[in-house]
């Protein structure tokens, strides 16, 4: 048996949303996924359709064009997309969690009014520049600087692995930068840098192992100047604010991972039921049955974990530990299911035209991005009161 959407205690509107996005994924995304992966091109028509469906505005109030939903709704959409194409799923996840959410959480009224309507409608995308060649979770290693000069921030430095930073509709990137010092401690703030700003260069896209259709670039800043009013949130709170965004993002990545794990499960079941080896249908072999049963176990546990974390978040309760558990559980499930599905497919599993091959390549980053598996273990340990 497989579990249905209605088995997870979802409200009817959540079930309808998930079914709608699953249908969209199957009918519109899946048919173009291979070609988008092969050509390493983000299909902007698919992004536009997601905007038309209201997916980018799901967890935002209607004040600036949001759908008035919750984080659970967003994650249901991300999971549904990831079943067929992780690149499209991460485009939505990053567009919301790293593009629009910082503006919604920490922006001024003027910043929200100017930037949110297009972001929530999918007419624009934005990136968030935290990671640097020598800095990521280690805020103290941040080297990008922003210095005030005549009412403008002058930004110098470099960022890497920045999603949605170079698409035709990328409106801006938000970057963390050292804006001063408090004794020996760096003061890190967050600044909005519009696309096309002189001195801001979006470097050529990466040649990645997976997520080929996702837009990802390194960024350089060489005397890029933006108005002082482009400070996002309180000065000196840039890294702390990002950590809050990161906790939410881990739930979304867990949902994406669950979708990937389920996509592998579905493909493995279909293949095992139709593939004949030595005169016997593959699914009749107990070794294959046990392998697929474990795949189902992983999907179920991963979904329970991220649903729990999302509900805690939506109820305004502490969710840092639950988000870390969900992200770790689900990313492990995605990678393990991709490996097993590829094995079940045999030689075909090594061919990129088959979704399981793309999931195999794509899923590794799920154990790295939004905090590595080791970071999740560290967060869980600290939530248990263990020193470190």
Residues involved in catalysis: 370
Nearest to 21 by CA among 61, 60, 52: 52
Cα distances (Å, whole numbers) of residue 215 to 90, 92, 176, 200, 343: 10, 11, 20, 17, 29
**Pair 263, 330: CB distance under 8 Å:** no
Cα distances (Å, whole numbers) of residue 79 to 23, 61, 253, 255: 12, 22, 9, 5
Cα distances (Å, whole numbers) of residue 231 to 4, 103, 148: 45, 11, 11
Residues 129, 156: Cα–Cα separation, whole Å = 13
Residues 6+ apart with CB under 8 A from 145: 155, 156, 157, 177, 178, 179
Q: If you count them, how many residues does the chain have?
A: 388
CA 121 to chain centre: 18
């Amino acid at each position: 048996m497989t579990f249905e959407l209605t088995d997870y205690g979802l409200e009817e509107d959540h079930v309808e949303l998930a079914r709608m996005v699953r249908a969209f994924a199957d009918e519109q995304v899946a048919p173009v996924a291979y070609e988008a992966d092969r050509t390493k091109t983000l299909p902007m028509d698919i992004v536009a359709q997601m905007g038309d469906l209201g997916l980018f505005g799901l967890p935002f109030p209607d004040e600036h064009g949001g759908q008035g939903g919750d984080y659970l709704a967003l994650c249901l959409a991300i999971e549904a997309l990831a079943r067929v194409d992780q690149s499209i799923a991460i485009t939505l996840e990053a567009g919301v969690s790293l593009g629009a959410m910082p503006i919604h959480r920490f922006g001024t009224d003027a910043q929200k009014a100017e930037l949110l309507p297009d972001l929530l409608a999918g007419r624009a995308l934005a990136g968030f520049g935290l990671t640097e060649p020598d800095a990521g979770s280690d805020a103290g290693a941040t080297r990008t600087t922003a210095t005030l000069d005549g009412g403008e921030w002058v930004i110098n430095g470099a960022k890497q692995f920045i999603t949605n930073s170079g698409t035709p509709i990328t409106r801006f990137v938000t970057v963390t930068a050292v804006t001063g010092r408090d004794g020996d401690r760096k003061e890190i703030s967050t600044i909005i840098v519009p696309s096309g700003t002189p001195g801001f260069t979006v470097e050529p896209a990466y040649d990645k192992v997976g997520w080929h259709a996702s837009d990802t670039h390194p960024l350089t800043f060489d005397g890029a100047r933006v108005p002082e009013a482009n400070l996002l949130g309180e000065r000196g709170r840039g890294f702390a604010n990002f950590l809050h965004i990161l906790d939410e993002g881990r739930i979304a990545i867990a949902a994406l991972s669950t979708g990937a794990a389920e996509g592998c499960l579905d493909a493995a079941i279909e293949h095992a039921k139709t593939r004949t080896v030595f005169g016997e249908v593959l699914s009749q072999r107990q070794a294959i049955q046990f392998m697929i049963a474990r795949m189902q176990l992983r999907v179920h546990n991963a979904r329970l974990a991220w649903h729990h974390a999302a509900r805690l978040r939506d109820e305004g309760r502490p969710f840092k530990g639950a988000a870390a558990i969900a992200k770790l559980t689900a990313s492990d499930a995605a990678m393990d299911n991709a490996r097993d599905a590829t094995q079940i497919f045999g030689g075909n599993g090594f061919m990129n035209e088959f979704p399981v091959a793309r999931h195999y390549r794509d899923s590794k980053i799920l154990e790295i991005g939004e905090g590595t598996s080791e970071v999740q273990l560290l967060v869980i340990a600290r939530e248990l009161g263990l020193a470190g």
